[in-house]
A and B are shown apart, each in its own frame.
Chain A
Amino acid sequence: MTAANPTSWQETWTARAPERHWLLLCGFAVSVGFLLIFGAQRSVERLIEARDLLPLALYVPSLIVVHLTLVAVRFRGDQLLVAAVALLSGLGILMHYRLGAFAADTLAGALRQYALYPACMGAMLLVTLAAMRGRYRHLAASPWLWALVSLGLLAALVVTGQRYRGAIYAAGFLTPSEFLKLSVVLYLAAFIAARAAALGAWRYGVLPPARALLPLVAVWLVLCALLLWQRDLGMVAILNVVLLLLLTLGSGRIGYFLLGLAVAVGGSLILLRFFSHSARRIDAWLNPFTDPTGASWQLLQGLSGMYSGGLWGQGFGAGNPEYIPIAASDFVYAVVGEELGFFGSVLVVLFFLLLFQRGFAIALRCRGLFARLLAAGLTAVLAVQTFLNIGGVTKLIPLTGLTLPFISQGGSSLLASLMAVGLLLAISDGEPKGRGRTKRRKA
């Protein structure tokens, strides 16, 4: 077991050779992407300047910093996750740069954009460092704290938020609802892990334990009501999928899943009746050609872009994302489809799948119930969000207005996603030997 538990940084350096190799390839692929964009954006009056190299010049070092830090702290956790996130983030930087996010007038404004990815990767690293070696178990100490944090985030949103595109977005720099994904998963994992036995005790095998569920249901109803009031249906969808998954996984009762499915079907029918906003979206989804220049314009322009991309794509930087409204955030996948083609989209989806598969693999290997639920919950949040986003852009499902993790523009979304990965990495580092395992069982 000594090989699996390196004690010196030299051993870690050797053990993490695959990660180094993969990050090197990531850096190479992203550099080629930048060359392509430079070529496409070069115009008669604008030469490529040193400033244009800055995003790349910040990306590559941040990969190096991540790798070296993990080696330095003798990190034993996952390497593949790091590589997958590095590549997806690299694609995100490419898309940001390509969609003109870095074209700020002032140096300070530009710097804030340039620093976004490195800063968020730094945050990911900090979360990992803080929570590794089993320290993440402290997060399970008080489920109610996370419930309060979640409701507080929502309350902050209600107070500061303003209506924008049919949903409420926060006025300032941060979108508090993005961090709900973290706090709610933490709440669920802590709550369910602490009451796993009670939650699994179904009466006659058909009736869920009402008393054990009651506190959860109360918090959940408030949470969903507030989210629905803000018309954030996408978030409601994500959180409910995660709730069902964690209840089923934690209690070992498939009944939660079936019950949840029934409630979800009934609930969405009621919701559609009362939410004109979502009924419109459903209509634009089902019959896009009845109002092509109105409600379905964005969707159809996105699909048109993908169609003109075809199998191989127009080439990075050579498409026309300016015809798709809000391409940079919700519809970034359509730009990927247009410029990298169907082939490129498949590659991007493959990397997402790799990430999710790895996240669930970590969850399945965890001994501790809290760790297992937390890893599964965080991965599920990312997976469901990705599915809802690209499913919506490709018209498979109605649009929910969610961002594409790591790639869409939006600092809060990126920060929350990378912090989730940070926690996943910390969990994959395992628990220290010899203590805790028997003690944690019943807290």
Chain B
Amino acid sequence: MNPLATFNTLIDSPAWPTLQLGLHGLFFLAFLYLLKRLFDLRRAAVLKALPKPKSMVGGGLVLLVLGVAFGAVLAYQASWQLMGMTRPDFIAFMQTYDRRQFNPAHRIARGRIADRRGRVLADSDEAEGRVRRVYPYGPVFAHVIGYQDPTFGATGLEGSANAHLNGSTPADLRAWRDLGQQVITQREPRGQDLVLTLDADLQRLAFAALDGRAGAVVMLRPGDGAVRVLASAPAFDPNRLDPALFKPGDPNARLLNRALQGRYPPGSTFKLVVAAEALAAGQTGPLYCEAQGFTTSARYPLIRDHDYYTARRAGLTWKGHGSLGLSRALAESCNVFFAKLGVQLGHERFAATLNNFLFGQRIPLHSSAYGSLTMVTGEAPRIAKSDQYGLAQASIGQGRVLMSPAHLALITAAIANDGLAVKPRLVASDEPEALARLMTATQARQLQQMMRRVVTEGTARGIAMPGLAIAGKTGTAQNSDGAPHSWFVGFAPADRRAPEQTLAIAVLVEQGGYGSAVAAPLARDLLLQAQQLGLLP
């Protein structure tokens, strides 16, 4: 009977895990029993060889200092070891860099992300002790929801709401109780769910409508900023992250959230901004618009209207618009008019308007202490006082003015909301928050009527139809890369004044061609589908 051999077989036996647990407990018990016996026998082991101390003050002081110092260490240690889940940075570190198989951070069942109707957009699935994130809609929500992956980290809402999803920020009593259970058992830590304002059906339709073309669709409710669609294409499948995705220089830029982070020349959609500027200045025309075009100096090429080129291509001579007022100029998207108007309004007013329209900012759509999902607004470099031509070009949304689809959607929503811009929000529980007043209510209503006219008799008359009164503005933005970007911004219905029953939309199709031919019909289809889904009256 060899005790070593017996022990070796015992370790191999299936009973060992239980036995080990028992030994672990026995180890602790032995410690505790030793402590108890140290206490019991303390009188028998007093320091007999040394005299008794004269006062107890010294001993008390020693105990106090030692107790405070080491008590502080243990308390602080507990804040990591036991309450580490309330430190989101720490949890994120462990989820990314900790390779211990049994680390509870890997088993956290992250909260689900759901759309406004409760359809699950992101869920957690446990397999082999590791929790994996599952995205039922695949690439449709890839940019806005992002991904959470042990290798590649977390982006989108998965990143900005990481703490919430991991349950690191207990909100109510139940969450605190769950946390207490976690501390004692360390099993099955659970996160909290996140409900969004997005509409999964509409988002899927928008993503499908882009049909593989690079572009973006943003739809939001002007009254409270609830974002219904935030689609960006081309996307990727967050269920299967491909390392090639992260190589710099991807020509398709699949990781780029074009809706929030992409910056494009706005083309004629920018005329809404200039129109608002003119309304504020009280300069609504009429201006005479030469058919031959307009320039500020003979050294620069003429700024002409689209109709001029169409006529020339047909071998005809265009007679021109003649004298135009602001409303008709916007409906016809007359370049000459807006170039002239911009120069007339001047540099100072232009810069002030850009500032007023929130250019050059980063606006968080959802933020926590541990990250935020932001949109960039447009940028327009300062135009020198002497540069009249630059101002003329900028006034028709060309030159160096760049805007993001989300920014244009925000401005359109503000127009529909009688001039007040409301911060776009993605998380249902976030409170609506006014951002800025872009124009007076009177000006906004004038602009609403002008935008309606664009659809009834202007450049977007191709999408006019009974049943839904759409107001909008097309844009065809020249760019150095090739075919022009196709834009449409608008809102519907235009004939009712109920902001909670209105949707604003911005559609961009990169190098899609004419705004009226590509982006406008796409927007119309989506607005009609929103109506069918009950989002519009």
Contact = CB atoms under 8 A, between A and B. Distances in A.
Interface string B1-34: 0001001100110001001110110111011111
Interface stretch (A23-31, A102-110, A187-195, A210-218): A23-31
Contacts of B37: 21-22, 25
B98 A304 contact: yes
Contact of A303 (B7, B28, B84): B84
Count class of interface residues, chain A: 35 or more
Interface stretch (A116-124, A147-155, A261-269, A358-366): A358-366
Nearest to B2: A50
Given A301-B98, A387-B73, A428 B4 contact: no
Nearest to B83: A307
B81 A309 contact: yes
Contacts of A323: 98-100
Interface in B13-71: 16, 19-21, 23-24, 26-28, 30-35, 37-38, 41-42, 44-45, 47-53, 58-59, 62-63, 66-67, 69-70
B27 A316 contact: yes
Contact of A311 (B27, B82, B93, B103): B82
B62 A36 contact: no
A229 interface: no
Given A304-B94, A307-B81, A394-B73, A320 B99 contact: yes
A220 to B, nearest CB: 23
A18 B44 contact: yes
A28 to B, nearest CB: 6
Interface string B209-228: 00000000000000000000
A305 B80 contact: no
A49 interface: yes
A32 B30 contact: yes
B74 to A, nearest CB: 6
A79 B49 CA distance: 12
A396 B72 contact: yes
A163 to B, nearest CB: 28
B50 A365 contact: yes
B188 to A, nearest CB: 13
A395 B78 CA distance: 11
A349 interface: yes
A337 B81 CA distance: 8
A428 B47 contact: yes
Contact of B97 (A292, A315, A347, A391): A292
A286 interface: no
A47 B80 CA distance: 37
B47 A365 contact: yes
A342 B89 contact: no
Given A35-B23, A38-B7, A354-B38, A25 B30 contact: yes
Contact of A39 (B11, B28, B70, B105): B11
A352 interface: yes
Nearest to A430: B49
Contacts of A314: 102
Contacts of A271: none
Contacts of A25: 30, 33-34, 37
Given A19-B45, A76-B48, A304-B93, A356 B66 contact: yes
B68 to A, nearest CB: 11
Contacts of B184: 311
B49 A39 contact: no
Nearest to B20: A39
B74 A349 contact: yes
Given A32-B27, A38-B7, A345-B77, 16 more contacts: A29-B30, A40-B20, A76-B49, A78-B45, A303-B80, A306-B81, A307-B103, A308-B104, A316-B27, A320-B100, A323-B98, A345-B74, A353-B70, A361-B59, A391-B73, A428-B49
In the A-B complex, the 10 residue pairs with the smallest Cβ-Cβ separation, listed nearest first, are: A430-B49, A29-B30, A365-B50, A308-B103, A18-B41, A310-B186, A76-B49, A4-B48, A394-B77, A307-B84
